[in-house]
A and B are shown apart, each in its own frame.
Chain A
Amino acid sequence: SQQGEEDPQALSIQEGENATMNCSYKTSINNLQWYRQNSGRGLVHLILIRSNEREKHSGRLRVTLDTSKKSSSLLITASRAADTASYFCAPASNTGKLIFGQGTTLQVKP
């Protein structure tokens, strides 16, 4: 399976700190996406990084991709209490289907 495996499973930080979440996968990908889920709600797309890209930014989000190591990381800078949520990586196969991992639960304490 090329399911994304997130690490750590849970992360607790203080407001203002940076949060880093990692993702590993097993097979070749077309792109890799990160999603966020607030408690009890649907997932929301955050960012997509193509297989030929190494780094991408969107606001306070920074995503890196290392296809040689089959890994990606999501960095949230200057975290806020509102960033409290679960974060999922989703590698996309060449057929375009996404495989979601179990997610990282982030708690940002005010």
Chain B
Amino acid sequence: DVKVTQSSRYLVKRTGEKVFLECVQDMDHENMFWYRQDPGLGLRLIYFSYDVKMKEKGDIPEGYSVSREKKERFSLILESASTNQTSMYLCASAQSVLRAKNIQYFGAGTRLSVL
């Protein structure tokens, strides 16, 4: 079974702090994704990566950056946390974006509160 592990289930940070959310997958997947989920807005793609050191902006990249130094690890960075970044953050991985191999496997999520 594919396992996607997010480092924290709950996180409380202060406005202005630099926040790191870590995600690790154990299936040698090419692609990794970061989403945020808010009531009434569904899942929105922040960033994704299709290879080590490669990244692409999703729909809402402002205020976020990412790092993928190793294939299995994809980090989401909030450079200066703000209260409007309070949300549930979901990491996912997929074997590739090729047809029928783009099934995404999700971590359990990190609920971040910025005070």
Contacts and interface: CB of A to CB of B under 8 A. Distances in A.
Interface of A: 3, 30-31, 33, 35, 40-45, 48, 50, 88, 90, 92, 95-103
Contacts of A88: 42-43
B99 A98 contact: no
Nearest to A101: B42
B100 A31 contact: yes
B90 A43 contact: yes
Contacts, number: 61
Interface of B: 4, 35, 40-43, 45, 48, 88, 90, 92, 94, 96-109, 111
B40 A102 contact: yes
Contact of A42 (B4, B40, B41, B97): B4
Contact of A97 (B4, B40, B97, B111): B97
9 contacts: A40-B111, A42-B92, A43-B43, A43-B104, A48-B100, A92-B102, A95-B97, A96-B94, A97-B48
A41 B108 contact: yes
Given A88-B42, A95-B97, A100-B43, A42 B108 contact: yes
A42 B103 contact: no
B27 to A, nearest CB: 13
Contacts of B35: 100
Contacts of B111: 40
A101 B40 CA distance: 10
